[in-house]
Structure 1
Amino acid sequence: MAEEEVKVFGAWASPFTRRVELALKIKGVQYEDIEEENIDVLKNICPLLLNYNPVHKKVPVLLHNGKPIAESLVIIEYIDETWKVNPILPENPYEKAMARFWANFIDEKCLPAIWKAGMWSPEGEREKAAEEACGCLKTLESALGGNRFFGGDKVGLVDIAANFIAYWLRIIQEVTGQELLSAEKFPVLFKWADEFVNCSIVKETLPPKDKLVALFESRTSQ
């Protein structure tokens, strides 16, 4: 393993890039972080990505011994199957299927609704988008049950997939004043978010808050 080449092509503000980095850190895998200066941190466009991810043309891309893997959830499963220590997905087939289900729910339902409600939709449409986003958050909160993390007592696939909700969303709320996630509305999910972002290994993968604030402020002023 020591001689393996592991590189992550990403963008500093991308929660999807940070997912991959967190998975590698959980596994204890050494990797080279490659961020092209001409990557747009929100649009994720970079000429180099055309070689490694010609289908979606966005970060992150994992390069393992010269072979590229794209899409963060796909990459995380690849990492989990390649390096067996500290498993990220459950071993039980049903529990594994449920973890995949909730991770896909986050990407396909939660994140699009949150983006729209946060700042990327016309002001007149944000109220409806906020209702949809809160509905998604309520559904996601139900998946936690009484557990500390979605993965039980430790960070797993769904926790990693929800990193945007735990960290990025609360910064967007601070910038826009649009409150979606709060201790009053979603006490269980809010507590999970605090637990998640305060994990030492997670902290290592979070971008600086001040830089994200500046980035989002610049976007809202356009």
Structure 2
Amino acid sequence: MAETVLELRGVRKRYGGGASPLVEVLHGIDLTLVAGDFVALVGPSGSGKSTLLNLVGLLETPSEGEIWLASEPVHHASDAARTALRNRYLGFVFQFHHLLPAFTAEENVLMPVLAGHGRISPADRERARALLARTGLAAHAHKRPLQLSGGQQQRVAIVRALMNRPRLVLADEPTGNLDSHTAHDVFALLRELNREEGIAFLIVTHDPALAARCDRQVHLQDGRLLPPARADAPGG
């Protein structure tokens, strides 16, 4: 049986309080991902996708409910503990690449290793260079972000997310800044690493074609997960 990488149990998120009325954005979310899952999170704008991604990414805490990451309860973790858990278990690819402009592509890719372990080994450098080569960036490894195109910068961010062999990668429109050919190649790389290393992916996307290429789609609407569509439903 595949290892459970992520489990949400009755997760709710509210904002406001005091002089402002409470607004509940997520209403009792239950979600489980196991090693090797490749899941698209889809839904209209304002449905709560970003809030859910922030909770899973330990950037926010739930108002109610439980979040378990690699069998560890993280919903009441301290700030320091959440930081350590992010470095250990998670990789991130957001809409904006957040590369550090003073460092080269290779140095940016190695940042999660430095943050998590305090040093960079020859094996770490070898993995970084191999991943950059597999995304067509070998010749650009020693360039700084401003010397790269937008698509190249996003590919560096994707490689950085995979550097620590995370259990789970959270991706927000991971190919949104890439041309169709490069997007296809990057998606193929994500799938390859997903299958070879058992990394689970939760991908927020508005692209129906990309969502359809994932193993499973999770639909969020008005802060609630919709039940899976039945295969025998009309039009299904």
TM-score, length-scaled by structure 1: 0.31
Kindly indicate which of the two structures has a greater share of residues assigned to helix: 1
Structure number with greater Rg is 2
TM-score, length-scaled by structure 2: 0.29
